[in-house]
Structure 1
Amino acid sequence: MKLIFRYMGRYRAAVLLAMGIKLAGTMTELLLPYILEYMIDDVVPAGSLPRVVLWGLLMFAAAVVCRQLNVLANRRTVDNAHRISYDVRQDLFVKTANLPGSAFDELGLPSLISRMTSDSYNVQSAVQQLQSMCVRAPMLLLGGMVMTLAMDLPLAMILVVMLPVLLAVVFFVCAKGIPMYNTVQKRLDSVVRIMRENITGIRVVKALSKADYEKRRFAAANREMTNCDIKASTVMAIPGPLMQLCLNVGLTLVVVAGAWRVNEGLTRPGVILAFLTYFNMITMGVMGLSRIFMTLSKASASAGRIAEVLAAPDEQRVLRPGEALQPSGAGFLRFENVDFSYGKTGAGFAGGEREKALDHISFSLNRGESLGIIGPTGCGKTTIINLLMRFYDADAGGVFVDGRDVRSYDKDELHRKFGVAFQNDMVFQDTLGENIRFGRDLDEAALRRAAKDAMAAEYIDSLEDGLDHPAAIKGANLSGGQKQRLLVARALAGNPEILVLDDSSSALDYKTDAAMRRAIARSHGDSTVILIAQRVSSVMGMDHILVMDNGRCIGYGSHRELLENCPPYREIYETQMGAME
């Protein structure tokens, strides 16, 4: 709840104004039964029609003022709640975008999505309740109690005896409900994960006729979440009927005791009528408190999950000159005995220790040179890029760019040096031109040059609207090869110092792949190029080739050197090139 109050503090004046208006409206509402009692017991018996009309108009005016104040307060509370939820979602998005890789892996994408949507909505509901019902319900309860105590103390004692029991039930149930709603939100994470997997992989699901299997898998997760939600909602619903029963019993006792007191001349009829109205207000106050605690129970669980993301470590700290490592040799890009592991523990890890994704990796590139990285899936090729761009920090050793430890760079300063086409990169729902430009200050000529070098100009120019042609979400209206060439064009468009192509030509035929590499070498010869590929034909023209296997370097050198000195590379070459022949 601290998170909710912290965000409400940003709009302190607006929140206090809304609560003040709500308070004024509720106090006006509390005056209505008192005016009614006075009219019945004092004005009507006096037989003065003008006084009856005057007090009737006063009561009508009070009802109108009460209504208008409540409408105005509700509008302001809704507006404030939306503003605060906007801030929560915005901060969550910014935080998520800046999470280091380790924190992102730990939280998980489905969980981050549900925190951005379901949890932020629960917080919005709580903010709205805190501004309205948290003023109205206690005020109706306390104000009603004060008025009834002032009108008839013996009758009011019926309520005084019952209320502590009712409030104790509410607090006890809510203490049980918060942990249960935490569980519900975690189950929702699983539902979102399975849904996302199926939407993303719908073609595979259909192609392998696994729709029924996926339906059963989703149904199991959905059923588990639903059962948890039912349990939590059932527990939180207990106070409502119990309080209604107790209050109805209390109301019956008030009517019986009130009738007896009127018959004995101990009180007046108007007092009983006003007392019953206040009793209903007190009932609404208690029921309102029950709804508040139910909403706040959900919001407390959601706020805790949001706070967990916001409290996660930010982008890795930029090291000061005295803290950063110094390279032991020359070279524009250098890896020196780098070790790295993902996660903390995992099944199959010997002795619970982390399995190394990179094990003592070292290489050096001069400015303008090229490096090809080849090896089986999962051998650590992409991990090298993750460390080079400081998405993660190495466990040991040093990673250097332009003679500096990458940890000494500001994030934007480091990333401006790179142009990257990742293995599973994103095509956004926008025009082809905007997908290449990607928010950068690039003119159309630069876009066309990049498209030409990436061998994308041919299919772009064949379209009637060219660069203005719309791309669907994830490039669904483009072929695999078209998407890859579009992504390479995006990487080339900014004329980067370091060009990284991570398996970005796997969907291209050999001829197009070779033509693209020649165009890049011709137009971007000053760029230092790192090319990750599965095909020997893609890397054999690189200045240096790094052969990876299970996180280790098993070969490093030129194509000719590796053919002579690295049997695994020679085997890959003979297998692939022989198949081509």
Structure 2
Amino acid sequence: MVLKRLAVYLKPFIPRMSLGFCIKVGGTLVELAIPWILSYIIDDLIPLGEIAPVCLWGGLMLVCSLLAWVGNITANRMASAVARDCTRQIRHDLFRKISYLSERRVDEFSIPSLITRMTSDTYVLHQTVGMIQRLGVRAPILLIGGVIVTLTLDPVLTLIMVATLPVVGAITFVVSRRGARLFRLVQKASDAMLRVVRENAVGVRVIKALSKSEYERNRFKRVNDELTEKERTAEKTMALINPVMSLLLNLGIVAVIVVGGVRVHNGTTEIGKIIAFMNLFTIVLNALMAINRMFTMLSRAAASSARVLEVLDTPIELYETEPKFSFLPENAPHIAFRDVTFRYPRGSFAVRDLNFELKRGETLGIIGATGSGKSTIIRALMRYYDVSGGAIEIDGVDIRDYATTDLRAKFGVVFQNDTLFKDTIRENIRLGRNLSDEELLEAARRAQALGFIEEQGGLDAPVAIKGANLSGGQKQRLLVARALAGNPEILVLDDSSSALDYKTDSLLREEIRLHYGDATKIIVAQRVSSIMHAEKILVLENGRVIGMGTHDELMASCPLYREIGESQIGDRSVSYDEPAGKEAVRA
């Protein structure tokens, strides 16, 4: 059933597959004619003592061999092309679906599992589609055709061979069913191993710094051994088919030789028929072996296709293609959180009873301890998750009523632990948008990144994976430049200045104030100096708002904010009006 569902991907390739099948059928039938011709030469032509007919029919055997060889090569190449193109479409659809999955769904699948489904599972499907076209036609024709040809030669000997086939078929069916279940466990173990490898690759510096290499090697050894054991169990189970099949068929061959010898001795059959029968028996044996390999691959494909379809069939929860409103209310706040409550799946509440409004162009600062819900507010605002209760509105409209592309287009955002891609500086700032080099350079200048970009060699300078060839401050300035480049309606900076010195941070805030005054700004920060000029500041603790107001109001009324402020900027009497003044630098 699962493989049948994936068969829809083969529909566009039916003409090419049909042509390949016809070529494969022709080549296989020609191949079956060779033993029959051999029998005719030995039994009917050689006794005549004439060389010409033997050479003529021998030449025909050679022609048949060449036709079978050319036909099989051509059909196999076509099968490989169909498998390649079909799998490419599956990967494309899988990647597209993963791109639109909600964060809740991504958390459920896990990143390592999605990577495995995208790579090893689709590779198994690629192998299966190719094998079905190569062996799915050839092996049954060789099996059935071989039996039919042997019937024309000697029906009695054919019955001995046919008697073994039901036993072989039953064993193959039982073992293949068990193999499919075992291969599903193998894929899950592969997910676990990939997760450990990914964690080690990402956290290699931390592992080395804390001298935890031995601990991580042992952790990898455990998951690797578990995967190896599951693979061994699955392969041992599937390996039962070959020796059992070989034993039964070889016993059949022995029986054919014994019975055939008796029949030749009694004059009821001829030597040429026995020789042809042995060749055909070998062909049938190889066909059964091929069918066994196909069943083994189908067992793996059943497990892999179920995992792929699990992703493809997952409903897209948060993606809307059309807006659900016809007009925007007048005089509505630009952003409004109304009794917003949110909790992660199988987790505790991240935020509770969140209420605030922002007018267009205002700045909201958010501060609080780690895990207090700061980044959760951003994810909920951009609708990576739907809120558990309450509503979030932009221009008076619930964000769930916006088309997702329209909603996300309003934002320029720098996430905590954001990503730079292996590409040029130009493409990392542009990120697929239709922006000119002048706009990119202007955004870089305002993000305080132009200086080091010119030092690196301009917009064409390369960026390594995750920006490994840049410092922390350079990465953050590039990310801010990316957010500013599109002149966003809402600018979100989630802890985007933690690697900047105070002077650069202050200059950046001044550029944003001067050139993005119409944009509503939400700044998540650990530094009071980064948000102290905001019209509103939220102080969060364990997902609840414990303080809201301006900097001066919170310094007077919120103990937690005052504690943070005094620990970072000292005396409250210091003036904070100079964006890059000496006091800011000294702080």
Q: Into which bin does the TM-score normalised by the smaller protein fall?
A: over 0.9
Instruction: Identify the residue that residue 209 of structure 1 maps to in structure 2.
Output: 211
Deviation at 1:326, TM superposition (A): 9.9
Whether 1:377 aligns to 2:370 is: yes
Instruction: Identify the residue that residue 520 of structure 2 maps to in structure 1.
Output: 528
SS state at 2:69 partner: helix
Out of 534, 559, 564, the residue aligned to residue 556 of structure 2 is 564
Is the CA contact 1:327–1:398 (under 8 Å) kept in the aligned structure 2?
no
Letter in 1 for 2:92: Q
Instruction: Identify the residue that residue 492 of structure 1 maps to in structure 2.
Output: 484
Is the CA contact 1:418–1:496 (under 8 Å) kept in the aligned structure 2?
yes
Letter in 1 for 2:294: I
SS state at 1:362 partner: strand
Is the CA contact 2:540–2:546 (under 8 Å) kept in the aligned structure 1?
yes
Moved more, 229-238 or 465-474: 465-474
Deviation at 1:448, TM superposition (A): 1.2
Deviation at 1:19, TM superposition (A): 2.0
Instruction: Identify the residue that residue 117 of structure 1 maps to in structure 2.
Output: 119
Out of 273, 282, 285, the residue aligned to residue 283 of structure 1 is 285
Q: 1:124 to 1:209 in 2, by over 3 A?
A: same
Which aligned pairs between 1:143-292 and structure 2 lie closer than 5 A?
143-292=145-294
Is the CA contact 2:430–2:482 (under 8 Å) kept in the aligned structure 1?
yes
Out of 459, 484, 487, the residue aligned to residue 452 of structure 2 is 459
Letter in 2 for 1:500: V
SS state at 1:132 partner: helix
Q: Distance in 1 between matches of 2:53 and 2:459?
A: 80
Is the CA contact 2:536–2:548 (under 8 Å) kept in the aligned structure 1?
yes
Instruction: Identify the residue that residue 420 of structure 1 maps to in structure 2.
Output: 413
Is the CA contact 2:341–2:353 (under 8 Å) kept in the aligned structure 1?
yes
Is the CA contact 2:343–2:349 (under 8 Å) kept in the aligned structure 1?
yes
SS state at 1:525 partner: coil
Letter in 1 for 2:444: A
Instruction: Identify the residue that residue 553 of structure 1 maps to in structure 2.
Output: 545
Q: How many residues align?
A: 571
Q: Distance in 2 between matches of 1:426 and 1:487?
A: 8
Ranges of 4+ aligned residues in structure 1 off by more than 6 Å: 319-329
Letter in 2 for 1:305: R
Instruction: Identify the residue that residue 351 of structure 1 maps to in structure 2.
Output: none
Letter in 1 for 2:102: P
Moved more, 293-302 or 552-561: 552-561
Q: Distance in 1 between matches of 2:454 and 2:55?
A: 83
Instruction: Identify the residue that residue 348 of structure 1 maps to in structure 2.
Output: none
Out of 313, 325, 350, the residue aligned to residue 357 of structure 1 is 350
Instruction: Identify the residue that residue 33 of structure 2 maps to in structure 1.
Output: 31
Letter in 1 for 2:41: M
Q: Distance in 1 between matches of 2:409 and 2:325?
A: 23
Instruction: Identify the residue that residue 575 of structure 2 maps to in structure 1.
Output: none
Letter in 2 for 1:12: I
Deviation at 1:16, TM superposition (A): 2.0
Deviation at 1:160, TM superposition (A): 1.7
Whether 1:446 aligns to 2:448 is: no
Is the CA contact 1:373–1:533 (under 8 Å) kept in the aligned structure 2?
yes
- What RMSD, in angstroms, separates the aligned Cα atoms of the two structures? 1.8
Whether 1:301 aligns to 2:303 is: yes
After superposition, what is the alpha-carbon deviation per residue over 1:68-119, rounded to whole angstroms, capped at 9, x for unaligned? 0000011001111111111111111111111111111100100000111110
Letter in 2 for 1:122: V
After superposition, what is the alpha-carbon deviation per residue over 1:25-63, rounded to whole angstroms, capped at 9, x for unaligned? 111111111111111111222233222121111111111
Q: 1:321 to 1:424 in 2, by over 3 A?
A: closer
Q: Distance in 1 between matches of 2:141 and 2:6?
A: 22
Is the CA contact 1:454–1:489 (under 8 Å) kept in the aligned structure 2?
yes
Instruction: Identify the residue that residue 135 of structure 2 maps to in structure 1.
Output: 133
SS state at 2:470 partner: coil
Whether 1:537 aligns to 2:529 is: yes
Q: Distance in 2 between matches of 1:565 and 1:62?
A: 96
Letter in 2 for 1:506: S
Q: 1:364 to 1:312 in 2, by over 3 A?
A: same
Letter in 2 for 1:252: V
Q: Distance in 1 between matches of 2:341 and 2:326?
A: 17
Q: Distance in 2 between matches of 1:339 and 1:323?
A: 24
Letter in 2 for 1:200: V
Deviation at 1:321, TM superposition (A): 7.3
Q: Distance in 2 between matches of 1:176 and 1:506?
A: 54
Is the CA contact 1:326–1:405 (under 8 Å) kept in the aligned structure 2?
no
Deviation at 1:200, TM superposition (A): 0.8
Instruction: Identify the residue that residue 344 of structure 2 maps to in structure 1.
Output: 342
Letter in 1 for 2:74: L
Deviation at 1:437, TM superposition (A): 1.2
Q: Distance in 2 between matches of 1:161 and 1:575?
A: 89
Deviation at 1:22, TM superposition (A): 1.3
Instruction: Identify the residue that residue 380 of structure 2 maps to in structure 1.
Output: 387
Whether 1:405 aligns to 2:406 is: no
Q: Distance in 2 between matches of 1:124 and 1:317?
A: 30
Deviation at 1:4, TM superposition (A): 3.2
Deviation at 1:578, TM superposition (A): 2.8
Q: Distance in 1 between matches of 2:246 and 2:80?
A: 29
SS state at 2:459 partner: helix
Instruction: Identify the residue that residue 396 of structure 1 maps to in structure 2.
Output: 389
Q: Distance in 1 between matches of 2:161 and 2:330?
A: 81
Q: Distance in 2 between matches of 1:237 and 1:103?
A: 37
Is the CA contact 1:325–1:398 (under 8 Å) kept in the aligned structure 2?
no
Deviation at 1:330, TM superposition (A): 2.7
Q: Distance in 2 between matches of 1:251 and 1:83?
A: 42
Deviation at 1:328, TM superposition (A): 12
Deviation at 1:325, TM superposition (A): 13
Is the CA contact 2:324–2:402 (under 8 Å) kept in the aligned structure 1?
no
Is the CA contact 2:333–2:396 (under 8 Å) kept in the aligned structure 1?
yes
SS state at 1:424 partner: coil
Letter in 2 for 1:318: E
Provide TM-score, normalisation by structure 2.
0.95
Out of 468, 475, 480, the residue aligned to residue 476 of structure 1 is 468
Q: 1:553 to 1:561 in 2, by over 3 A?
A: same
Q: Distance in 1 between matches of 2:320 and 2:59?
A: 71
Out of 507, 511, 523, the residue aligned to residue 519 of structure 1 is 511
SS state at 1:467 partner: coil
Deviation at 1:362, TM superposition (A): 1.2
Whether 1:83 aligns to 2:85 is: yes
Moved more, 208-217 or 14-23: 14-23
SS state at 2:547 partner: strand
Q: 1:458 to 1:287 in 2, by over 3 A?
A: same
Letter in 2 for 1:273: I
Letter in 2 for 1:531: I
Letter in 2 for 1:490: R
Name the % identity. Answer: 47
Q: Distance in 2 between matches of 1:258 and 1:496?
A: 87
Moved more, 308-317 or 531-540: 308-317
